[in-house]
Amino acid sequence: MNAMNTHYPEPVRVEAVNRHTLAVIVDNEPGVLARISGMFSGRGYNIESLTVSETEEARHLSRITIVTTGTNAVIEQIKAQLDRLVPVHRVVDLTLQGNAIEREICLVKVAGQGEHRSEALRLAAAFGAKSLDATLSSFVFELTGTTEEIDRFVRLMSVIGLVEICRTGIAAMGRGAEPL
């Protein structure tokens, strides 16, 4: 029996699951990405988006941007475990820093003729998408924006004749003059 001498179980406390964007500075060496992704998979954490690129060639450093979800306790645990990995120099939760700038690039192939073709061009112009390739029966558009903007564009294009999508994942940076 619980503290109140009742046979009913304690109410289950439900914590909110939040989306966080983490910037991780690591050594640019073989196996680093495998160690980081292995840490996530080994503990059952999901990665919604992952981008990696060398950012400081002279110092052989790369920046990994990871978008993940979890309760506050899970996010703190992820950050602590990332920070303990040997090739990791710094872990910053851009979500906690404030309004980080987040962008994603998407390539979208759309097939259609007649009215569908002209509607695809109108929608692309409305979203500011750039036409990279055009044939008599298809287009390839490039769109840069927030995840939500790209999701909306893809939903609209799926009605017209979406053929293929390629997305880069989130690239994010904190606002202001301070470096990571």
Output the six-digit token pair for 128.
Answer: 């500011």
- For residues 89 and 113, membership in a common domain is answered with no
Q: What is the chain's mean pLDDT, rounded?
A: 93
Average pLDDT of span 90-98:
92
What separation in angstroms does the CA of 11 have from each of 8, 18, 71, 72, 134? 9, 22, 18, 20, 59
Banded pLDDT at 4 (limits 50, 70, 90): low
Rg, Å, the chain Cα set: 21
Q: Is residue 179 part of a domain?
A: no
Q: Of 98, 125, 153, at which residue does a domain stop? A: 98
How confident is the model at residue 7, as a pLDDT?
Answer: 76
- Tell me the three state secondary structure of residue 34: helix
Question: Rounded mean pLDDT of 65-91?
Answer: 95
- Residue 113 falls inside a structural domain: yes
Strand, helix or coil for residue 167: strand
Per-residue pLDDT tens over the stretch 7-65:
777 777 778 899 999 999 999 999 999 999 999 999 999 999 999 999 999 999 999 99
- Torsion angle in degrees (nearest 10) through CA of 146, 148, 151, 153: -70
180 belongs to a structural domain: no
pLDDT at 6: 74
pTM: 0.84
What's the total number of domains in the chain?
2
> Does position 118 have pLDDT exceeding 70, yes or no?
yes
Task: Find the domain containing 130 and state its range.
Answer: 101-174
Residue that is last in its domain, among 41, 72, 98: 98
80 Cβ contact list (under 8 Å, min separation 6)? none
Share of the chain above pLDDT 70, in %: 98
Q: Residue 24's pLDDT is what?
A: 97
